Amino acid sequence: MRTGSRLLLVLLVWGSAAARDGDLTVRPTCKPGFSEEDYTAFVSQSIMEGQKLLKVKFNNCAGNKGVRYETNSLDFKVRADGTMYAVHQVQMPSKQLILMVTAWDPQTLGRWEAIIRFLVGEKLQHNGHKPKGRKSIPGELAQQQSDTLLPWRQHQSANGLRRQKRDWVIPPINVPENSRGPFPQQLVRIRSDKDKEIHIRYSITGVGADQPPMEVFSIDPVSGRMYVTRPMDREERASYHLRAHAVDMNGNKVENPIDLYIYVIDMNDNRPEFINQVYNGSVDEGSKPGTYVMTVTANDADDSTTANGMVRYRIVTQTPQSPSQNMFTINSETGDIVTVAAGLDREKVQQYIVIVQATDMEGNLNYGLSNTATAIITVTDVNDNPPEFTTSTYSGEVPENRVEVVVANLTVMDRDQPHSPNWNAIYRIISGDPSGHFTIRTDPVTNEGMVTVVKAVDYEMNRAFMLTVMVSNQAPLASGIQMSFQSTAGVTISVTDVNEAPYFPTNHKLIRLEEGVPTGTVLTTFSAVDPDRFMQQAVRYSKLSDPANWLNINATNGQITTAAVLDRESDYIKNNVYEATFLAADNGIPPASGTGTLQIYLIDINDNAPELLPKEAQICEKPNLNVINITAADADIDPNVGPFVFELPSVPSAVRKNWTITRLNGDYAQLSLRIMYLEAGVYDVPIIVTDSGNPPLYNTSVIKVKVCPCDENGDCTTIGAVAAAGLGTGAIIAILICIIILLTMVLLFVVWMKRREKERHTKQLLIDPEDDVRDNILKYDEEGGGEEDQDYDLSQLQQPETMDHVLNKAPGVRRVDERPIGAEPQYPIRPVIPHPGDIGDFINEGLRAADNDPTAPPYDSLLVFDYEGSGSTAGSVSSLNSSSSGDQDYDYLNDWGPRFKKLADMYGGGEED
């Protein structure tokens, strides 16, 4: 046996169980399909265009008539005889390339697949010669020699020395996903040539073996056969990287670990899924073919580099099919939907519903899986329909002098989308209204044009208007659309005459004249004009406002005359102007009136003499301490006012002897004492003041001056001010004494009221004063027929026949309506169950207290009783002294004291009467 070791990798072909076990069994029947499920070819790194790579064998058991081949790569194709070639020059991206070839029969619609594996490297045996020194392959692997790869091969040279050949690249192991089993399924067998010398144990490590997901792959530790334990899912995990180990029974490494790459071959087990089930897009009406609308997108979870994940789109249906059944097309690869035909018209079709189908396997409907989505395409409006008037002429009527009146409604028709800029109408008056009397406003709901008067029209100036109006939209018309001749119309507006109010041409009218003109003076003629030239009407005048009642107006011609003297200094004058308002009314039906304001500017004359201020003043009895400042005031205005002349009269002579006046300026002067001392008192000082009018006016004003003693600051003392008022010392003392006496009387009255209030609280009735009826007049509505008419049984009250036991009672009986002065008497304790006679005893006790009270008033009073007893069968207390018999003895009333004497006389002496 050769020294050294070899690790053999045996690749088992799927479904070839007989070859795997060494049995060659002839199939009894023909089964359509490829001769192999997995083809392997060695290629160079660069493949030339048209280069033949391998040939697949397929048999459909019918002579292969019409069989077609397809690959999942755009770089390689298969001819009808099964030869695979390169479509163009290909640079191999890696040391391995895995493809899938599909054969399908158009007659039976059958579909078969095989895996093509291109390896960049050397073949096991070059030119069919065996390497020197190699032993024959065991019979177990004789039929699988082409599937067995030796990772490490050792060769011996002629001189007996070994040379090491480079290692083989172990190709990946491909496992189709979604295999139906049975499981476990054998994938590969790992074997070392040392297993004939020693016992070897095989194991695998990595993700899927001893790392999560656990136990996807397993290996027989003795035979080295590796299995897959369950179906694979490429979408869950696309590849696995494992390492194979060979150790002896003691766990010592026999061979170096080798890497195993397992790729899950994708199967078409996922349908394309649209991102949205409903897509919304829009396109303008009238769009040209090729206009982009929207994009739909579907994703396939399968391998996008194979046909399983290559999605193609197509339009299945279009609703409605107007004006063509193919208004849209879709890019099969990108999913872009574009218009393909002209004729989109929103006014005819507002929305299209397009069903889009996405199919994998590059859109092959026979093999691919499909899914659908809905594309809703809204045709958006463009302004391709100009607004048109429903009629060519409109008419309306408006009274003169009216504004904000709608005189005509213009109706239009627009087929564009309502309440959009393409539908909203804008109206313009293009002729017939040079003065701008009218405007046209758009009703936002109906889109009608409302012809509105914005500037009053005059019947006497224009009796009718002929307007030309135009309508357009807010949005401009689409390209190529022209305005319709029906977008213009004529509007005839008739003006009706109404009775207009007279008006004053000059309003406000201003006139100027001097104040003080005599009564009856004609000032002006304030006449009004009636604008109704086509009506014969008379205008009459009257006063509407004349605050001072100074003016009269002639009712016929409007002549203004004075009714009193106009005074510029009157309170009715504002800024020398007097205003009066007059009314001018015609006799139309209905009558109309207008107002006018007359302003009279009054020119001042010197008709007011000046006055002096202040009217009263005070000064110290000694001169040079203070002076009195005097101001002259005149109701007139310049030049009939200052400068003023101030002087003292010569009569009486004491004025100039005691006083002197000094002029400060045109309006002010100072009054002061001339002598060294003047007795305190009140003095009337006359002063003559003259204005500068033409002719000048003067006035003698008297100033009441109080002369008083002053302190060192020059201010009048309090006593001095009183003395100056004319009161002597005796009068002042008398006033003070009167004030003290008045205060003393008020204090005594307050003390007396407090004491009386205290006494009232000391002797307070036990009942509420409001309930005291002794000083009140009681009114009864009805007395009835007397107590004789009522049948009461007084025996229930146990009225005693005599009063002896009452009169002999111990002292201590009191009135219950007064607060006791002394100690409270103690009443005898009544039993728990009262005797019927207790009520009578209680009443008699109160009666005795009232009779023996010397302070009781000479009339009966309301008595308050504490206890009336219980268990009484009496019907009413009002029947105390009544009896069921008509003959009642009232003699006992004489024994009840003087307070019942009147009652005893009334009832006791009834028989005598």
- In the predicted model, is pLDDT for residue 441 greater than 80? yes
What contacts 24+ positions apart, CB below 8 Å, involve 779-784? none
Any idea how long the chain is? 913
Q: What letter does residue 528 receive in the DSSP assignment?
A: -
Could you tell me if 722 and 729 are in contact, meaning their C-beta atoms sit under 8 angstroms apart? no
| CA 517, chain centre distance (Å) | 71
Q: Inform me whether the pLDDT recorded for 666 exceeds 90.
A: no
Q: What is the mean pLDDT of residues 449-469?
A: 91
Q: Which pLDDT does position 467 carry in this prediction?
A: 94
pLDDT for position 121: 64
What's the rounded mean pLDDT across residues 245-270? 90
Out of 8-17, 157-166, 841-850, pick the least confident: 8-17
Q: Which residue has the higher pLDDT, 505 or 149?
A: 505
Strand 509-514, strand 593-603: pairing: parallel
Q: What pLDDT score does 535 carry?
A: 74
- pTM for the model stands at 0.45
Give the chain's end-to-end CA distance (angstroms, integer). Answer: 180
Lowest-confidence range among 673-682, 688-697, 817-826? 817-826
10 Å CB burial of residue 512 (0-12, 13-18, 19+) is exposed
The pLDDT score that the predictor gives to residue 793 is 56
Residue 195's pLDDT is what?
82
Instruction: Quote the pLDDT of residue 726.
Output: 54
Q: State the amino acid at position 555 in one-letter form.
A: A
* CA dist 378 → 281, 336, 384, 522 (Å): 6, 16, 17, 86
Q: How far apart are CA 492 and CA 210, in angstroms?
A: 100
Using one digit for the tens of pLDDT, what is the confidence trace for 200-223?
A: 999 999 999 999 999 999 999 998
- Residue 884 — very low, low, confident or very high, per pLDDT cuts 50/70/90? very low
Give the pLDDT score at 27: 41
- pLDDT per residue as tens digits for the range 115-133: 998 888 644 333 333 333 3
Q: Are 131 and 145 in contact (CB under 8 A)?
A: no
Which residues on neighbouring strands pair with residue 494, listed in sequence order? 397, 464
Give percent of the chain above pLDDT 70: 76
Q: What is the mean pLDDT of residues 647-662?
A: 84
Kindly report which listed range (5-19, 424-438, 754-768) carries the lowest average pLDDT score: 5-19
Q: How much is the average pLDDT of 357-367? A: 91
pLDDT of residue 335: 95
Cis peptide upstream of residue 643 (ω within 30 degrees of 0): yes
- Highest mean pLDDT of the ranges 545-549, 769-773, 858-862: 545-549
**Reported confidence tier of residue 656, pLDDT bands at 50, 70, 90:** confident
CA distance linking residue 385 with residue 159, whole number of Å: 102
Write out pLDDT tens, residues 721-764.
555 555 556 777 888 899 999 999 999 999 998 888 888 776 55
Pairing of strands 185-192, 225-228: antiparallel
Kind plus residue range of the DSSP H or E element containing 724: helix 718-724
Residue type, 119: L
Q: What is the mean pLDDT of residues 796-800?
A: 48
Alpha-carbon distance of 835 to 841, in angstroms, equals: 10
Strand partners, 202: 246
Mean pLDDT for all residues in the chain:
79
pLDDT in tens, 389-417: 999 999 999 998 889 999 999 999 999 88
What are the pLDDT digits (tens) for 59-76?
888 888 888 898 988 889
- Which distant-in-sequence residues (6+ apart) come within 8 Å of 719 by Cβ? 709
Residue 444 has pLDDT above 90, yes or no: yes
- Cβ contacts of 521 within 8 Å, gap of 6 or more: 561, 562
